Each structure stands twice: as C-alpha cells, then as structure tokens.
Amino acid sequence: MGESMREIKIALIGAGSMGKNLTAAYQNIPRVFYPSTPIPRLRIVSDLVEERARKFAEQFEFERWTAHWEDAVADKQVDAVTIATPNHLHRDLVLAAANNGKHIFCEKPLAQNAGEGREMYEIVHKAGVKAMVGFVYTKNPLVLMARRMIEEGELGQIYHFRARFLQDWAMSPEVPFSWRFQRKTAGPGCVSDLGSHIIQMARFLVGEFDEVCALSSTFIHERPLPEVASPSEECPKEKVDIDDATGFLARFKSGAMGAFEVTRFAAGRKIAMGFEANGSKGSIDFDHERMNEINVYFTSDPEDRQGFRTILLGPAVPYAGLWFGIPGVGLGYDALVMIELYEFLEAIVNGREAKPDFYDGWKVCQVVDAIVAAARQKRWVKVDGF
Amino acid sequence: MGESMREIKIALIGAGSMGKNLTAAYQNIPRVFYPSTPIPRLRIVSDLVEERARKFAEQFEFERWTAHWEDAVADKQVDAVTIATPNHLHRDLVLAAANNGKHIFCEKPLAQNAGEGREMYEIVHKAGVKAMVGFVYTKNPLVLMARRMIEEGELGQIYHFRARFLQDWAMSPEVPFSWRFQRKTAGPGCVSDLGSHIIQMARFLVGEFDEVCALSSTFIHERPLPEVASPSEECPKEKVDIDDATGFLARFKSGAMGAFEVTRFAAGRKIAMGFEANGSKGSIDFDHERMNEINVYFTSDPEDRQGFRTILLGPAVPYAGLWFGIPGVGLGYDALVMIELYEFLEAIVNGREAKPDFYDGWKVCQVVDAIVAAARQKRWVKVDGF
Amino acid sequence: MGESMREIKIALIGAGSMGKNLTAAYQNIPRVFYPSTPIPRLRIVSDLVEERARKFAEQFEFERWTAHWEDAVADKQVDAVTIATPNHLHRDLVLAAANNGKHIFCEKPLAQNAGEGREMYEIVHKAGVKAMVGFVYTKNPLVLMARRMIEEGELGQIYHFRARFLQDWAMSPEVPFSWRFQRKTAGPGCVSDLGSHIIQMARFLVGEFDEVCALSSTFIHERPLPEVASPSEECPKEKVDIDDATGFLARFKSGAMGAFEVTRFAAGRKIAMGFEANGSKGSIDFDHERMNEINVYFTSDPEDRQGFRTILLGPAVPYAGLWFGIPGVGLGYDALVMIELYEFLEAIVNGREAKPDFYDGWKVCQVVDAIVAAARQKRWVKVDGF
Amino acid sequence: MGESMREIKIALIGAGSMGKNLTAAYQNIPRVFYPSTPIPRLRIVSDLVEERARKFAEQFEFERWTAHWEDAVADKQVDAVTIATPNHLHRDLVLAAANNGKHIFCEKPLAQNAGEGREMYEIVHKAGVKAMVGFVYTKNPLVLMARRMIEEGELGQIYHFRARFLQDWAMSPEVPFSWRFQRKTAGPGCVSDLGSHIIQMARFLVGEFDEVCALSSTFIHERPLPEVASPSEECPKEKVDIDDATGFLARFKSGAMGAFEVTRFAAGRKIAMGFEANGSKGSIDFDHERMNEINVYFTSDPEDRQGFRTILLGPAVPYAGLWFGIPGVGLGYDALVMIELYEFLEAIVNGREAKPDFYDGWKVCQVVDAIVAAARQKRWVKVDGF
C-alpha cells in the first residue's frame, strides 16, 4: 500500500467540546504513533451554528466548514465521518454517511434506542464501511490489559462484575436545562449517557447481558432555561423528562452477576467510572478518577502475600510505551481518545477490526432499552427482546 | 440506684467464635467504660457440646456451664441472656428467655424469617425486657458520627445509599459444608448473614425500605462434609441450598435509591463491609477494611477546596476517646462489640433504649424476606408485605 | 514446669495513660493467648500521687497500691515490675527492681542518655532478670512479617530505610507545659520520645546504625503552665528546652541509607509512624495510621504485574489468628501491647528471649545521643561513640 | 502587537525523548491555549547524530535540521532556542544562544555546577533575553494551587517541607552505562538529575535554602557498555562516578526544616516525585504518581471534621479548565510540558516573567553543590557559599 493511501480525510460533525477532543486526538496521532500510522487530514467541520463551524475550522485548521452536515457527509474527498453531535442526530448522519460510502466514527451512545441502533448497524454492515463507537474508557491501556487478563483466564470464572459511573454536575437545581435533560435529544437519559459506558465495559470484559432489572429516579424535575430575556423576569423553566440516576442488576449470559449504578447526583464523585471484576482466580478493581493505576488480586499468591497490587500505567501495558518509556509518568484522558481514533484509522487503512463497532453500539442500546423497560414496568427484562 | 444493682449476671448461649468475642467484650467493659458502667458477671455458658461449654467456662471464668440452654435461660440469677448460636435456634431461645423475664442480646440476623422476627419482637415487647440485636458494624464510632451528620442534615437530602459486604472465604469448592450453607440452620443464606448487616446500616442511616428487587446466585452447589471416616474414601458431600451472593436494588420510603451487594465470592475482599451515602449537601464513604477512617465530602466547601476528607478515628468521635486520647491510634473490631454490649447493659441498668432492638431485627428480616421473594419471583416486592 | 509457676505477679509503676494500656493488656492476655499462656496477676500499683494509685488499683483490681515505688519494687510477691513513668525515673526504678531480682518491662525510651542506658543494661544483665523495652510498634503482626521477609532475604539487599513519626498535638501554643517539654524529665525530647520508636524499628528491620547527622527545631519556646491560680491573671509560662522536631540521616553498618523525621508539628498527622524499606528484590511500605495493612512490592513479579500489593492483617500473619479467623477484621493498638507483654511473660516463664531487651534500649539511646550531638555540633557523629 | 509578532520560531537542540516531549507540547499549545496564545513554529532541530536530526525533523515537520548546533543557534529566523541535550552541553549552548539574542528554554538541571549556572544566568541577564528552566513538575496545576495557598497564608507558617523523588530504573546491574552515570556528562549525578526537581519545588513553595547536610551512595559501581562487538565476549564495563541516591536535610532561610531523598534504587517507585508541607494552619501532600489529585488539611476545620481532603484536578484550578470543563477527567505529564512552554512563549510575546528562570536554575545548582560538598566533607554547608 502506497504512502499516499495512508492519508485519511476527516469530516467532523459537531463542533462542541467532544468535537474538540476528537480533533485534538487526530492532530496528535501522527506524532504519537509515528511512524506506523495513517495520517488523518482535517477536511471539513460541520455545525448547525455556522459561526461555530467557521471558528472551529479556523482554530483547528480544517480545510472547509459548513452549517449543513449533508455537505460534509457528501464531500467527495472525505474518507471518514466523525460524529460528535447530540444523540438524536446520530441516525440520520450515519445513514447519510454510509450511503456515501464513508467510514464512520460515532460518539456513544450510538442510537436513541435499539431499533435505531440495529438499523444503523445493518446499514453500515451493508455499506461495508468501517464503523466504530466512541466508548473511550475501554481504550485505557490498563483496561486493555484487564481484558487480556480475563481473556487469558488469569481471573478464572467471573462471578461478579460491578460498575458505576458517578458524577455530581447536575445536583444543583440551578444547573440549566440542556439537550442532555430531554428524551427527544438525549435518548433514554443518564442511563444511556453514562450507562452506555459501563454497559460496554461489562460487555468488553464479561460478555453479553442476559436480563436486567432496574430502578430510576429524577430528582429535579425542571431546570431553568439558559437564556433569559431579562434578568428581572422570573426565569422560565423546562421540564426534565429523563432520569438523573439509575441502578440496575444484571445476569450475564455466562452466569456472572452484574451490579451497576449511574448518577449525576453523587456529591464529590466527578468522573467516577469504575468497575470491579471478581473471578475464581482473582479480581480487578479500577476507577477512572485514578486512571493511571489498576488494582489486581490473585488467589494463586502465597496466603500471606495476597493483596490487591496497584499496577501503574507503564510501557509493559498496551500502547502506554508510545508516550513515555517509564511507568508512572501519567497519561491523560486525551490519550484514550487518541488510542480509539488510531484504531479507527488503522481499521480503515489496514483492514483491521474497528472495535467497539456498531454491533456493540446496537447491543448496548438493547441493554439500555431493557433497563428502561425494566425500570418502568418494574420487572426483569430479557435484553434480547430489544 | 445502688451500686449493687449495677451488676448484671450474664448467660451466654453458644460457645463458638462469636461467643468468645462477646465474652471478651463483657470482660473489658468495666475497664473501658469505667467508672460509669454496669458490671457484667459471667454467670453461665451453654453449648450443645458439653465439653465445649465446660472448657469455655474454664477459660473465661464463667461460674457455671451447661449443655442445656433451658437451664441457662431459667437460671434465677441470670439477668440477661446473650445468644450466639446458629440462627435457627434464636427463636426458641428468645421465647424462653423472655418468658423467664430475662433481657436479651441476640446476634444477627434475629430470625429465620419476618414472621419469626415479628413473633420475637412481640414477645419481648410484651415481656417488657430489653432486647437488642448485634448489628455490630453500626456501632463503629465513625458510623455513629455518620448517623449524627445525616440526622443533623449535614448531607442534606439523601439521594443514594450504596452498600456492599464482600468476602471471599467460600470461594474454594474445598471449603467444607457447615450450618451456614443450609437454609434449615442459616435461614435465607448469605443474603441474611451478610445482608442483614448492610440492611440495618441502611435503615440506621437512611430509614425504612419501601421495595426491592434482587438477584441471587449459588456458585458451588455442594460441599464436602468436614469429617470423613477414612481419607481413602471419596469425600461425601452435602447440598448447598442457600445463596452465595445476592445483589439488590431498593427504593427507600424517603425516595432515596439503594444499591446493595453481598457475596462470599469476591476474591481479595475479606470483610469489605462498606457504604456510601450521597446527599444534596455532601457524601460519606466508609469501608470496614479501613475501620479507623471515614471519608466525608461537603458541597459547601469552596469550589477549589472540595474533596473527600479522610477523618481518622479520634476523641472527637463518640466513644473513641475512652480508649486513647489522640486520633489515629486505632481501634479493632473488638471495640465495636464492647460498645454494643455496653449500650445493652446501660439500657438494662439505666433504662436507656437498647438500639438496634428487636423491632429493628424484625424489620431487617422483612427486607431479607422481600429480597428472597424478589429474587425467586423475579419482580419488585414491597417490604411491608412481610 | 507446674501450672502454678505460670502465674506472674505484676507491679505497675505509673498510673497514667500508658499504665492503663499496659494493665488492660495484662488483663486480656490470658483470654487471647489461652491456653498456652502465663497468667499475670495485678499485685500492686504505684503512683507518686497516692490518690491516683488508689483509684487505679480500685478500677483495675490490683491487690495493693502505694505512693512509694520502693515498696512496690521490693514487694516480695512481685515477680515483674512494669515501668510506665516519665522517663527520668526509669533508671532508679530499674536499678531497684534489678537489685530485688525482679523481671522488668520498661516503657521506651529506656534512659535519659546512653550512659544511663548502658548502666541499666549491665545491671539487668548481671542480675539475670528478663528485661524488655516497650517499643510497641515493632510488635504489629505485619511488622513481624516484614522482619521475617527481610531476614529471609525476600527484599534482597536493603538500600534504603526511611521512617517518620509525625504528630500534630503540640502545634498550638496553648498546649500546656508538661514533663514532655523539659529535658530534665523527658530526656532529649521529641527526638527520643518519637525517635526511639523509629530508631528501634530501623534496628529491628535493617540493623545497627553507624553514623548520623541531624537537624532539630523548637518552634514554640515557652508553654503555659497547666494550673493557674486565677484565670484573670496572666498565665505563667515555662520554658521549653527540648526539640519539637528532628530530622536525621543515617548510614547503617550494612551500608544502607536511612532518612528519618520526627515531629509534633505536622498538621493532620496524628500518629503517622511509618516506614519504607527498599531492597534489591522488593520494597515494604507501612503506616500505623493504617495499622491493619502493609504494602509489599516484589521485583520478581512479571513486569506487567508488578505493583505494591496491600496485604491485610489476617491469620496468615504472626499472632493475628489469635483474635479472629479471617483477614481484614482489624486489630487495634491495644493488641500490640498485648503481644509485647505476652512475649515478656513468656520470656519469664519459658526462658525465651524478651526482645527488644535492654541492650536494644541502650543502643537506641546511643543513636539518640548521637543525633543530639550531631544536631548541636552540626556534624556527622558515630553512634558507637556513645 | 500585531498578530504576526505572535509567531515564535523555535530551534530545538537535542532530538531525544525530552526533545520529543517538548516538540509535542509546542505542537499542541496553539490548540489548547487558543486563542490567546503565541504560535510556535518548528524552525530547526539539531542533533549530534545527523540521521537522528533528519528523522526527527521529518516526523515533527521542522523546516530544517542540522548536526551542528552552532547553525541552529545562529539561524537568523530563530527566535527561541530549546535545549534538551545532556547536561554538560547546556553551558556552551546557552552562551551561544544568548550571544545571538535568542530566548532560551533549557532543560533542568541548568548547569554542571553553580559557577556555570551563575555565568549562564549573568549572560542571559545581560543579553536581555527570556530564559527559563524546565522544572516541569512545578507546573502541575495542583502545584500552582499549592503555591497560591502557601503564598496567601492558608497554611500559616511553614514548619516542615519534605520531598522525595524515588525511582527504580537503575536497580539492575544490567542497566547499561549511559551519560547519566558519568559526572563529565551528567554533572553531580542523581542528586542533580532528580534532586534539582525537588529543590526547585522547595524553593517555589517554601523559599531559599540556608544550609544542608547530606548522605550519598553509589550502589553499583560499574555498568556494562550498551554496545558489544560480539555477545560471546565478556561485556566491557564503564565506571560509574556519580551517586545512585542522596538524602539531605536542610534549613530554609525562613527557619523551616527540610528533609529530602532522591534515589534510583527504590523498588516499586517509578516516578514518585512527592512532597508534603506542614504549616501552622494546615498541610499539603502531593505525589506525581497520582498527579491529578492533591491532599490538603486545614486546622481551621471543626475538630471532628478535620482530615486530609483529596482535591481532584478540575477547572477551579489554574489552567486545568483549558482541557476539560469538569474535574477528575485527568491530565497527563504532557500537559505540564505544555503549560511551561506556554508560559515561556507568553513571556517572549507579552513580556511576562518566565519563571522558573535562570536565576532559579543557578540557585538550584548552588543547593546541589552544597549538597555534594556536604556529602563529601561530611558537614553542614551553607548554600550561599556556592
């Protein structure tokens, strides 16, 4: 394959904060993964607010900008579309991109529901394009190591998987209304926004869900609109119709038990995406708030030498050596984004798998839908029914 | 009240490891709580195995021993009966003790089911005796502080309570069969053995449960019998008919959400009885494996000074000053047993409340029964139905 | 040896808070170490304040009390003298006890200086009595395990030993004057009070000191006297003539490097007696503020499985199984006192070594004296010179 | 100032791993600090090995490359020289750059000794160029917050500052010889390599050193040369003439006490650059191995609410909001390099101070020299004498 073919022209849809993270990653990939890397070129950025698109293009040196995503998706030069819009726009974007033969990287959650997810999975499958979903936390090198440990049987049979994604940013009633508080734009809600991360983490590490039961709450039922004509008027409010928090139990197809919680109302927990797996031969414990370390326990250690050992991120772990040659130096969240987009580009150029793909994205939607149904109907719900 | 009335004569039923812990506590109380303390006198110990009772009496200097608990419970000199037997014996012991007008300290879980628990609660209520249940972890001075913080509104409205009691002692298939693996003797199982601790912790800190859903597993379905006639024969096995692990979700009557897990199959977790409460003004995080510290977060701290603060056990905390005058010295599990029994004795002598009492014990059984029903019937179950 | 000879009659000198800890330990030993244990009998307690002695005897059920330690030490029935007085009284007490043929347990630091320490060592050696010094932190079962690991070469050659004993109780200028702030009564000061603990810890784990350099400070130069005739008068003050904090570097005879700090001015550190040993094969890290866990690292672990493992106190560790049969339950500081006094009693009854003994006590004084000289003379000082 | 003046043309000297880190930072700065930022342009890279320079230029898109640093430093278009060579080359590079009127960013330690450091400070001062030293750990936003807290008196009078930089990469005798093991190239050794970081940290937070005493060790006295003609021959070795580890005590001019350790022989410690400051009103505790959190203690908290609080990196902290809008997301080491180079560029363009500057670099050398003298001469040494 010639050198020129290693260049991938990127369209970005959505010039918000996640768009910024993704763009930064594209810019850094050629340097970090040098020399064995495809070269992303920032071809076009699209945002519904044209001024935002223009400024973003200027800042990050995209060749073009547009307020019409249809233009971006149809741009002949574009090889791959990167979707970082509110959730409800994913479907139309994906369909258009696939129909144009573009490879697709779409932020999580893939779809508003499992039906949409399946449709999106099928269209990209039929189109034969690479299609990946941005479950970024699964790309932490220490999580990749955890996966490998489980796959190779180091933990034995997995009995338990517990995970949580705890935040506190929505606790104040003064936090203004946004698209994240509305089913129409956000899909199921916190259960999907945060839940999709830990559901995919569970699938990645333990396998498919069989059935779930769940409990959801909305603690604050309306929120002030962000823009007010006059500060002297009483602030108009908008109804919140999604959950602020959801807990769910699960049985995995393997028989393992799952216990999960997502919330935006855990004071002091900022981005506490954590999990623990307990197997017949050992355990793994991880929390993104300490993303450069993982705790591992082996029952095979001598009885008086057993303990959770804290392994620091370092060059012995997948990818981490690309940054620094010694352990403990510390990567940031941005490195995880680089790893996922690098794998996306590699999949395009070298035909490797782009995982997690839209199948994963769809299956996560199924679990979310099952959870939502379980919470509403107050019963156990089979995941495969969605 | 005269000095002589401060002496309380104790009967202990059950000369096992918990009996030993309780006896040690009785022996230490007069010294630790000096001088404002009742004096327990070790009158009689009972065990079904007479030799065990005799040796125990000898070791701990009980005045008498017996293989017939009826004798112990009926001993005229005995003021208070302390029950540390397998669970299935609690009911008959309590009824006999109450009928003899004895005060009762009973290890948790109080009863095999809510019906029994209610019966026991009613009998002691009618008998007018003091009756306490040994939910020992709620007596950690730091937990008492947590309770006070919540009661006084320092955490605001509680949104979440999550708790876990993780152990790993039963993971090996070679762990022999014992009364803890059999419904007949152990009651509902791990859900009751470990679960009752965190259920009462939840009730203590957050209030009554409204409804629950649950998931239970038995990972190892039969266990070798401990005694084998000859090692050359194949080891005979006994069926396990209780859960090895249970997860449950709950709605509290206050509206708070609960998420819970108990298991004997979490490799590396030894006695990980922990909880976290998230309220509108702050959070509390505790784990018994680090029983001398508690983590507390306040949203009222300045934005750039917010963080979980690790408070060490010390004299500013209830009871802890009795041991050592400076923080950080460290108490052991045994101190918690002393505190609960001191409160039991104080209740008898000074008419104070003995909390948690049999009402609590019964309510915990209700929650356990609801969990068991929820797990079996795979549905949400109202706690008050039991 | 007959059963009756297993009874050891105890004289306690000093009815303060340490005396209370030691007495409690004596009371608990027969139960905890049952049945293979000597039985201490509380024969007599002495305190310069007679009323204190009387009350103490009453509380703890000593057979006798006295205000004259000479009586206690000469009491014919007494087998062993336990010294828990301010430091400056140790010497005369030890000499009298040894001359009366009594075994001796003396709180640390043994002596006011190395000369006194050597004299005390020689007298007990000549008298042929068992004589132990109360370096209680070395008796933590996890520390005993650490010692065994080092002895058996699990850490290889020790390159570094760093230790600290950080407290903050003296930070406020309002903390009143006491014997601990005066050379006459306290000996060298904080360097001896806290320093002796970590010096002996270092000797226990790494071996003898060769030479030291040091830096000392007194941050608050006078303290209010605790009792004031009238609160309206200005509070009289007393001069502080000891150090509030000392840091010292050391070369061990083995070639290992040592770095140490003791202070009463480390805000937030309550009883932070901690150490770390780095060897060619691994490291150990411990802090008494988390006294039920120790962190251990092995270079022999596979490269991507290396990490400090947190080992919880449990039955696999020396002594800990006596309390509870499972790990993680948690012992308190009081358990350490029981272990040291149990070993003292065992030494008397069964002729075992009572370690750390007065030789250790003397050697620690040598190191303290060398540190004091080094700090004053601002030079490196050989330890053997004292 | 016009937009065009915001462009700074960079020469990089030294195409090794640190050069890579610095280049990556330059590339990222315009995006991260957008829009209020100078724009670095990668003009020329120099390396003694021409092939290395060429490849580096290719990878990072420098306009030119050279094997002759004199060319790079004299390049008319270059505004600022970035020095990332072995230490012994710093002086000549700085002198040439200053004489050419270039601004200078030089990696730490600035010089081989204080004399050189002073010379370098004086030349840049005379040349009127901006000159900064790369003490990167002081640029952690949490460290900047710590500095502000101390400056504003939140910790009161500082009594203690203890710091450590512990690594373990040199422990194996098979680690090959490199310029870091030789005084000629590395300067004083580990004491300077790691020590300069914590010395500057101390100066940044507590102020100037007054005097020091020290202890150094070389544990492995010769190392194999990296390249061997034939593996069958015995591997030739080179003598190590620097320290592997150094401990030092210090008195600060403020009266505060300092205790420090640097080593490459602490098994399990990878990049454990940590410090603790204890003041009359509180304490701060930090370790780079958990670079996204800092622990802070205030004596002004209510007595039963005092504890070290763990503050996560977040937007309330200087700079951190530029990356992510919520706390806990996590930055990597690379972000620290961006911050320092951003401040360097800002200093050039906007005339701000470039701190730490060459005065700091020189003063750190003085402390290092004093430590080396103190260790060799085994005495306390005044820092100002160097």
**Gap from A331 CA to chain D (nearest CA, Å):** 4
Residues 6+ apart with CB under 8 A from A1: A349, A350
In C, which residues are within 8 Å of D265 by CB distance? 159-160, 278
Q: Specify whether the CB–CB gap between B277 and B248 falls below 8 A.
A: no
Q: Specify whether the CB–CB gap between D108 and D135 falls below 8 A.
A: yes
In A, which residues are within 8 Å of C296 by CB distance? 305, 307
Q: In this model, does residue C4 exceed pLDDT 60?
A: no
CB contact, 8 Å: B152 with chain D?
no
C35 vs B96, which has greater pLDDT?
A: B96
| CA–CA distance, B167 with B124 (Å, rounded to integer) | 33
Count other Cβ atoms within 10 Å, centred on residue D76. Answer: 6
* Six token digits for residue C230: 């009238």
Confidence of residue D35 (pLDDT cuts 50, 70, 90): confident
Rounded (10°) angle between helices D358-377 and D114-127: 170
Smallest CA-to-CA distance from D75 within D85, D88, D90, D65 is with D65
- Inspect the interface and report whether the beta carbons of A280 and B299 lie closer than 8 Å: no
Rg, chain A, Cα only: 21
pLDDT at D90: 97
- Inspect the interface and report whether the beta carbons of B310 and D308 lie closer than 8 Å: yes
In DSSP terms, B247 is beta-bridged to: B215, B261
Residue appearing with tokens 């970024």: A136
- Inspect the interface and report whether the beta carbons of C316 and A307 lie closer than 8 Å: no
Helix (H, G, I), strand (E, B) or coil at D112: coil
Smallest CA-to-CA distance from C260 within C145, C117, C164 is with C164
Confidence of residue D181 (pLDDT cuts 50, 70, 90): very high
- Inspect the interface and report whether the beta carbons of D304 and B310 lie closer than 8 Å: no
Mean pLDDT over all residues of chain B? 94
Q: Specify whether the CB–CB gap between C233 and C181 falls below 8 A.
A: no
* Six token digits for residue D260: 């420090």
In D, which residues are within 8 Å of C308 by CB distance? 268
CB contact, 8 Å: C341 with chain A?
no
| CA–CA distance, C259 with C276 (Å, rounded to integer) | 10
Taking a contact as any Cβ pair under 8 Å apart, which residues of chain A between 236 and 295 contact chain B?
245, 247-251, 255, 257-259, 261, 263, 265-269, 276, 278-283
CB contact, 8 Å: B54 with chain A?
no
Helices and strands, counts by H and E, chain A = 11, 17
Query: D27, D270, D291, D309: which to substitute to probe chain A, counting the most A Cβ within 10 Å?
Result: D270
When mean pLDDT is compared across B220-234, C119-133, C242-256, D80-94, the lowest value belongs to: B220-234
Q: In this model, does residue C2 exceed pLDDT 50?
A: no
**Gap from D86 CA to chain A (nearest CA, Å):** 17
Confidence of residue C234 (pLDDT cuts 50, 70, 90): confident
CB contact, 8 Å: B313 with chain D?
no
pLDDT at A4: 45
CB contact, 8 Å: C323 with chain D?
no
Of A288, A325, A335, the CB nearest to D17: A325
Give the max Cα distance, chain B: 70
Of D214, D261, D283, the CB nearest to C268: D283
pLDDT at B208: 98
- Inspect the interface and report whether the beta carbons of B307 and D303 lie closer than 8 Å: no
- pTM, rounded to two decimals: 0.96
**Gap from D340 CA to chain C (nearest CA, Å):** 31
Amino acid at A262: V
**Conformation bin of residue D207: beta by default, left when phi > 0, alpha when psi is -120 to 50:** left
CB contact, 8 Å: D307 with chain B?
yes
pLDDT at B255: 97
- Strand ranges (E), D288-354: 293-298, 308-312
In this structure, is the dihedral angle defined by the CA atoms of residues D300, D302, D304 and D309, taken in order, positive or negative? negative
**Gap from A260 CA to chain B (nearest CA, Å):** 8
- Inspect the interface and report whether the beta carbons of C309 and A308 lie closer than 8 Å: yes
* Six token digits for residue D120: 């370098």
Of D162, D219, D282, the CB nearest to C159: D219
Cβ contacts from A onto D, under 8 A: 110
CB contact, 8 Å: C324 with chain B?
yes
Q: How far apart are the first and last CA of chain D?
A: 41
| CA–CA distance, C318 with C142 (Å, rounded to integer) | 8
The predicted-structure confidence for D135-174, as pLDDT tens digits, reads as follows: 999 999 999 999 999 999 999 999 999 999 999 999 999 9
Count other Cβ atoms within 10 Å, centred on residue D338. Answer: 25
Q: Specify whether the CB–CB gap between A182 and A176 falls below 8 A.
A: no
- pLDDT tens by residue, chain A, 386 residues: 344 458 999 999 999 999 999 999 999 998 899 887 789 999 999 999 999 999 999 989 999 999 999 999 999 999 999 999 999 999 999 999 999 999 999 999 999 999 999 999 999 999 999 999 999 999 999 999 999 999 999 999 999 999 999 999 999 999 999 999 999 998 999 999 999 999 999 999 999 999 999 999 999 999 999 865 555 567 889 999 999 999 999 999 999 999 999 999 999 999 999 999 999 999 999 999 999 999 999 999 999 899 999 999 999 888 998 988 888 889 999 999 999 999 999 999 998 888 999 999 999 999 999 999 999 999 999 999 88
Count Cβ atoms within 10 A of the Cβ of residue C379 and give its class: 0-12 exposed, 13-18 middle, 19 or more buried.
Answer: middle
Q: Does the ipTM surpass 0.85?
A: yes
CB contact, 8 Å: A314 with chain D?
yes
CB contact, 8 Å: A217 with chain B?
yes
CB contact, 8 Å: A310 with chain B?
no
Share of chain C above pLDDT 90, in %: 87
pLDDT at D4: 45
Amino acid at D154: E
pLDDT at B37: 76
The predicted-structure confidence for B180-239, as pLDDT tens digits, reads as follows: 999 999 899 999 999 999 999 999 999 999 999 999 999 999 999 986 555 556 788 999
Q: What is the DSSP string of A34-72?
A: TTS--EEEEEEEE-SSHHHHHHHHHHHT-SEEES-HHHH
C19 vs D37, which has greater pLDDT?
A: C19
CB contact, 8 Å: D378 with chain B?
no
The predicted-structure confidence for A162-207, as pLDDT tens digits, reads as follows: 999 999 999 999 999 999 999 999 899 999 999 999 999 999 999 9
Q: Specify whether the CB–CB gap between C162 and C262 falls below 8 A.
A: no
In C, which residues are within 8 Å of B314 by CB distance? 270
- Inspect the interface and report whether the beta carbons of B327 and C270 lie closer than 8 Å: yes
Q: In this model, does residue C35 exceed pLDDT 90?
A: no
- State mean pLDDT over B40-44: 97
User: Which chains pack against D, by 3+ Cβ pairs within 8 A?
Assistant: A, B, C
Q: Where are the alpha helices (DSSP H) in chain D?
A: 17-32, 50-60, 69-74, 90-99, 114-127, 141-151, 183-186, 190-193, 195-206, 333-350, 358-377
CB contact, 8 Å: C317 with chain A?
yes
Respond yes or no on whether the N-terminal peptide bond of residue A35 is cis (omega within 30° of 0).
Answer: yes
- Inspect the interface and report whether the beta carbons of C310 and A311 lie closer than 8 Å: no
Q: How far apart are the first and last CA of chain B?
A: 41
Amino acid at B24: A
Chain B residue with the nearest C-alpha to that of C27: B28
- Inspect the interface and report whether the beta carbons of C267 and D259 lie closer than 8 Å: no
CB contact, 8 Å: D160 with chain C?
yes
Confidence of residue D3 (pLDDT cuts 50, 70, 90): very low
Q: In this model, does residue C228 exceed pLDDT 80?
A: no
CB contact, 8 Å: D121 with chain C?
no
How does DSSP classify residue B184? Answer: H
Confidence of residue B2 (pLDDT cuts 50, 70, 90): very low
The predicted-structure confidence for D339-352, as pLDDT tens digits, reads as follows: 999 999 999 999 88
The predicted-structure confidence for C279-303, as pLDDT tens digits, reads as follows: 999 999 999 999 999 999 999 999 9
CB contact, 8 Å: B377 with chain A?
no
Query: B143, B148, B300, B305: which to substitute to probe chain D, counting the most D Cβ within 10 Å?
Result: B305
| CA–CA distance, A351 with C290 (Å, rounded to integer) | 52
Q: How far apart are the first and last CA of chain C?
A: 41
pLDDT at B1: 37
Confidence of residue C1 (pLDDT cuts 50, 70, 90): very low
In DSSP terms, A224 is beta-bridged to: A237
Q: In this model, does residue B385 exceed pLDDT 90?
A: no
| CA–CA distance, A360 with C95 (Å, rounded to integer) | 80
CB contact, 8 Å: D307 with chain A?
no
